[in-house]
């Protein structure tokens, strides 16, 4: 049965040397003079916003062992450590270039680093981890594209399938993920398996954040921003590789099967927008008079395009 497995490992291991062209939400808020900060009620960094938000759901100040997978430049973890110097992080990344960036950013703290594919990481490395964070990284994990829906037919034995198709069938059957609406579909195989890995290890708290194919805009904001949703993950073409949006409901179903309490919403929940007259006038006009306006438009869209899941072990 023909299908494609979108992989980014080779790109991240050997070709990536900068994230400068990839404007993530966290990177957009990193510079103190970022125009994106000006549209928030609290004009501070992504990491400080996220730390305060998570602290409202579990005693973040009391934990020590924290894991971040795919930590980019290390900005998020550095901001967490500035909020709580008692944290003892483990940074896991497949990219040697980005691990070097993280080591430089976190050189003043007690941090462990592992160059590894998270899906291949020994589960023993997860023992004692109290909080795991996968922020804007799930779209990099393997995604199966153009998968024939017939592989989910109950009359077809899973033993008749090979490799990734058999793994997809197992996940659909075991977690009752439902049947796609189309004859072929895309599936976030690596993202689902990574959540399964963390939940199986019993990590007490997990944060997941990524570009969602199921995102929506609240009614009061829909007049300014239009978002297309999809039943299936969608391709994002980037420099040197493709990523895919995430079907967050699949990750939620896996977590709930392991008896996690799930909190879900857009990034705008913890990056609250300050609806000033100037911002509303800019959104009404849709006129880009300067570069900062384009950056702001893109950032505001991302606040709703990106969804988070907070998983708390019950």
pLDDT at 1 over 70: no
> What is the reported pLDDT for 15?
74
190-238 pLDDT, tens digit each: 999 999 999 999 999 999 999 999 999 988 888 888 888 999 999 999 8
Mean pLDDT of the chain: 94
Domain limits of the chain? 4-145+186-313
pLDDT band at 24 (very low <50, low <70, confident <90, very high): confident
Q: How many CB atoms lie within 10 A of CB 249?
A: 17
> What is the reported pLDDT for 125?
95
> What is the reported pLDDT for 204?
98
Pick from 240, 243, 261: which is nearest to 252 by CA? 261
d(CA 256, CA 270): 23
pLDDT at 13 over 60: yes
151-174 pLDDT, tens digit each: 999 999 999 998 999 999 999 999
> What is the reported pLDDT for 292?
84
Q: What is the mean pLDDT of residues 300-306?
A: 95
> What is the reported pLDDT for 184?
96
> What is the reported pLDDT for 155?
95
pLDDT band at 35 (very low <50, low <70, confident <90, very high): very high
Q: What is the mean pLDDT of residues 259-282?
A: 94
d(CA 97, CA 13): 8
d(CA 213, CA 201): 27
d(CA 241, CA 197): 25
Q: What is the 3-state secondary structure (H, E, C) of the chain?
A: CCCEEECCHHHHHHHCCCCCCCCCHHHHCCCCCCHHHHHECCCCCHHHHHHHHHHCCCCHHHCCEEEEECCCCCHHHHHHHHHCCCCEEEEEECCHHHHHHHHHHCCCCCCEEEECCHHHCCHHHHCCCCEEEEECCHHHCCEEEEEEHHHHCCCCCHHHCCHHHHHHHHHHHHHCCCCCCCCEEEECHHHHHHHHHHHHCCCCEEEEEEEECCCCCCHHHCCCCCCCCCCCCCEEEECCEEEECECHHHHHHHHHHCCEEEEEEEHHHCCCECCCHHHHHHHHHCCCCCHHHHHHHHHHHHHHHEEEEEEEEC
pLDDT band at 239 (very low <50, low <70, confident <90, very high): confident
> What is the reported pLDDT for 246?
98
The CATH number of 4-145+186-313 is which of 3.40.50.300, 3.30.70.20, 3.40.50.1970, 3.40.50.12710?
3.40.50.12710
d(CA 16, CA 70): 13
Q: What is the mean pLDDT of residues 39-56?
A: 97
Question: Could you tell me what percent of the chain has a pLDDT over 90?
Answer: 81
């Amino acid at each position: 049965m023909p299908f494609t497995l979108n992989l980014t490992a080779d790109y991240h291991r050997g070709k990536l040397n900068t994230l400068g062209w990839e404007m993530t939400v966290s990177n957009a808020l990193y510079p103190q003079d970022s125009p994106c900060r000006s549209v928030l009620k609290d004009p501070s960094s992504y990491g400080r916003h996220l730390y305060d938000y998570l602290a409202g759901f579990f005693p973040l100040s009391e934990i020590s062992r924290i894991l971040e997978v795919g930590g980019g430049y290390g900005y998020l973890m550095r901001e967490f450590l500035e909020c709580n110097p008692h944290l003892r992080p483990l940074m896991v990344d497949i990219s040697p270039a980005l691990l070097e960036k993280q080591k430089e950013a976190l050189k003043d703290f007690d941090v462990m680093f592992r160059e590894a594919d998270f899906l291949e990481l020994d589960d023993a490395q997860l023992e004692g981890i109290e909080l795991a964070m996968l922020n804007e990284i799930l779209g990099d994990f393997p995604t199966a594209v153009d998968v024939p829906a017939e592989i989910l037919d109950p009359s077809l034995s899973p033993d008749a399938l090979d490799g990734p198709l058999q793994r997809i069938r197992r996940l659909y059957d075991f977690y009752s993920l439902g049947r796609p609406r189309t004859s072929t579909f895309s599936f976030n195989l690596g993202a689902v398996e990574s959540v399964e890995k963390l939940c199986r290890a019993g990590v007490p708290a997990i944060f997941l954040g990524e570009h969602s194919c199921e995102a929506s805009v609240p009614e009061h904001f829909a007049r300014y921003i239009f978002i297309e949703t999809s039943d299936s993950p969608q391709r994002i073409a980037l420099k040197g590789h493709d990523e895919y949006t995430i079907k967050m409901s699949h990750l939620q179903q896996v977590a709930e099967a392991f008896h996690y309490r799930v909190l879900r919403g857009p990034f705008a929940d913890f990056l609250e927008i300050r609806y000033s007259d100037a911002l509303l006038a800019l959104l009404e006009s849709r006129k880009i008079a300067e570069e900062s306006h384009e950056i702001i438009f893109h950032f505001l869209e991302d606040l709703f395009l990106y969804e988070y899941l907070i998983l708390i072990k019950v």
